[in-house]
Amino acid sequence: MQLYQSNPIKLYNSLTGKKETFKPINEGHIGMYVCGPTVYSNVHLGNVRTFMSFDMVFRYLKHLGYKVRYVRNITDAGHLENDADAGEDKITKKARLEQIEPMEVVQRYTVDFHNILNTLNFLPPSIEPTATGHIIEQIELISKIIENGFAYEVNGSVYFDVHKFNETYEYGKLSKRKLEDLIHNTRVLDGQSDKKNPQDFALWKKAEPQHIMRWPSPWSDGFPGWHLECTAMSTKYLGEQFDIHGGGMDLKFPHHECEIAQNEAAKGKSPVNYWMHANMLELNGQRMSKTTGNTVNPDELLSGNNKFFTKAYGPSVIRFFNAMSSYRSILDLTNDGLLASEKGFNRLMDAVNLLDDLKASSTSSIGVLAWKQKCYDAMNDDFNSPILLAHLFEAAKYINQIKEGSETLSSEDLDILKDTINIFVYDVLGLKNTAKSESGTDKLSGAVDVLIRLRQDARANKDFAMSDKIRDELAEVGIHLKDGKDGTTFSTN
Ligand SMILES: [Zn+2]
């Protein structure tokens, strides 16, 4: 018997707007697709939040004994800059600005993406397909959609006919939009576009002469539209219908709506049974945006080199912080929030580190099995990680009480407590037992603190050459000092 048989999951399905009992298409197997990054710049922290939430989902489903095929793509064929299918593609633009090949842009930021996710202790997906590796599949899909009468070619470009599609199917069912409203709210075309209607979207674009990323097709030398790759790659690896499709809330419309339309137009089937959307990440109560400067990169968060936070935060503290909110809530990144999660993480780990010292008694005064079930119930309820954390803190309280002798556990119950904590802390939440180094109490921290104090003395004596030497030589061995208003802290990233 597998754990999933006794742990039915309730999952909030964005398509129906309800929590539903999850039932996979093939018993014991799950196909899950999550839209990956476009690799033209450093991965956005908001995207990291989305991927981290699905990493937790993936970890929990695996723990329950499901065989999960998790596909997360890399978008390495440039998207056009705006939804009207116009403008330069982002990868080509970056390549032009930096005077390098588009594929160098792709390589650089794919490596950056993997490095950040490894640092944050992500499990790799089962398959990580690239858009450029699936051009043939995308061309086949377009041909099928044209054949079925839901797309048309104009001047070498192919557009999806949303109005025609809506006669047979329902465009807007995921994002709860009506085509009439979309028509009402769209500006009239200015005659520059080849589209029949502004709501239509590109499946294939003919490349302008200066466009570097291009492929031959029956219609023109060009490149696929923004939404097509995910339809091609998800169904190639997971089948024409699969269990879970995830992504950030901002992808619901038009991206995911168009994925549904493309699959229905090509295969006559809605591709996904359960749509899951992770909510947005804000910074100090405001939308993160490069234009306003209210943004921080993942490595700036990890190194402490940013203007928003007083210190560096370690990977497990960041994961803990993410788990403190449901994936469906807006998460507000603040210094106070991060400090609180660092405290919470250290408090939890201090208790976990006492586990091996606990002595078993002949009887138990705590109902460990009931507590264990509450941990599962929390995750079974739409992956409710904040409730799970509350139960883990309850266990931290038990651990301290057992150590003090005010509560007891039999050796059998003690094993259950240890196993369950290990499962949820390490396997499901993906935390690492770095409490000591992250809380600054181990020998390394002690030694660096000594050097920080020596540097302060040097500065007080106006010996700036010595102060800089201490900072630079520490940096050479990978220890970075950061001077903040509350003193100097360090990171080892
Ligand atoms: Zn996608």
Peptide bond into 198 cis (omega under 30): no
Distance 235 CA to ligand 1 centre (A): 12
* CB neighbour burial string for 96-121, b if at least 16 within 10 angstroms, e if fewer: eeeeeebeebbebbbebbeebbeebb
* Helices 385-404 and 335-352, axial angle in degrees (round to 10): 40
Residues 103 and 142 in one domain: yes
Residues 113 and 248 in one domain: yes
Q: What CATH number is attached to the domain comprising 96?
A: 3.40.50.620
Residues 264 and 290 in one domain: no
Of the candidates 138, 103, 106, 161, the one whose C-alpha atom is nearest the C-alpha of residue 224 is: 138
Residues 104 and 245 in one domain: yes
Distance 231 CA to ligand 1 centre (A): 8
Distance 246 CA to ligand 1 centre (A): 9
For 15-48, write each residue's pLDDT tens digit: 999 999 999 999 999 999 999 999 988 899 999 9
For 255-283, write each residue's pLDDT tens digit: 999 999 999 999 999 999 999 999 999 99
Rounded to an integer, the average pLDDT of 69-91 is 77
Residues 271 and 340 in one domain: no
Distance 256 CA to ligand 1 centre (A): 7
Distance 73 CA to ligand 1 centre (A): 8
User: Domain boundary at 217, 252, 278, which?
Assistant: 278
Q: What is the C-alpha radius of gyration for the chain, rounded to an integer number of angstroms? A: 26
- With a cut of 50, say whether residue 343 has pLDDT above it: yes
In eight-state DSSP terms, residue 74 is B
Question: What residues have a C-beta under 5 A from ligand 1, the ion?
Answer: 35, 230
Tally of residues, the chain = 493
DSSP 277-323: EE--EEETTEE-BTTTTB---HHHHHH--SSS-SS---HHHHHHHHH
Residues 21 and 152 in one domain: yes
- With a cut of 60, say whether residue 437 has pLDDT above it: no
- Stronger pLDDT, 492 or 90, i.e. the higher one: 90
Distance 252 CA to ligand 1 centre (A): 9
- With a cut of 80, say whether residue 434 has pLDDT above it: no
- Stronger pLDDT, 488 or 175, i.e. the higher one: 175
Distance 165 CA to ligand 1 centre (A): 20
Residues 252 and 291 in one domain: no
The whole domain housing 10 covers 3-278
Element (H, E) at 458: helix 443-460
Distance 255 CA to ligand 1 centre (A): 6
Rounded to an integer, the average pLDDT of 117-138 is 97
pLDDT tier, 345 (very low <50, low <70, confident <90, very high otherwise) = very high
Distance 323 CA to ligand 1 centre (A): 24
The rounded percent of the chain whose pLDDT value lies above 70 is 95
pLDDT at 443: 66
- Stronger pLDDT, 188 or 473, i.e. the higher one: 473
Distance 261 CA to ligand 1 centre (A): 13
Distance 424 CA to ligand 1 centre (A): 30
User: Domain boundary at 400, 419, 437, which?
Assistant: 437
For 93-118, write each residue's pLDDT tens digit: 888 888 888 889 999 999 999 999 99
Rounded to an integer, the average pLDDT of 333-351 is 97
pTM of the model: 0.87
Query: In 3-state terms, the chain is what percent helix, strand and coil (to 5)?
Result: 45, 15, 35
Rounded to an integer, the average pLDDT of 431-452 is 71
Cα distance between residue 145 and residue 203, in whole Å: 10
pLDDT tier, 92 (very low <50, low <70, confident <90, very high otherwise) = confident
User: Domain boundary at 401, 418, 437, which?
Assistant: 437
Residues 311 and 392 in one domain: yes
Rounded to an integer, the average pLDDT of 206-231 is 92
- With a cut of 90, say whether residue 189 has pLDDT above it: no
- With a cut of 80, say whether residue 444 has pLDDT above it: no
Distance 49 CA to ligand 1 centre (A): 16
Residue 105 identity (one-letter amino acid): V
Rounded to an integer, the average pLDDT of 406-429 is 98
Distance 242 CA to ligand 1 centre (A): 14
Residues 173 and 301 in one domain: no
The total domain count for the chain is 3
- With a cut of 50, say whether residue 439 has pLDDT above it: no
Residues 339 and 416 in one domain: yes
Phi, psi of 345 (to 5 degrees): -60, -45
- With a cut of 90, say whether residue 407 has pLDDT above it: yes
Residues 244 and 309 in one domain: no
Distance 36 CA to ligand 1 centre (A): 7
For residues 230 and 262, the answer to whether their CB atoms sit within 8 Å is: no
- With a cut of 90, say whether residue 126 has pLDDT above it: yes
pLDDT at 83: 47
For 291-308, write each residue's pLDDT tens digit: 889 999 999 999 999 999
For 225-243, write each residue's pLDDT tens digit: 989 999 999 999 999 999 9
The rounded percent of the chain whose pLDDT value lies above 90 is 75
Distance 403 CA to ligand 1 centre (A): 50
Mean pLDDT of the chain: 92
Residues 311 and 377 in one domain: yes
- With a cut of 80, say whether residue 323 has pLDDT above it: yes
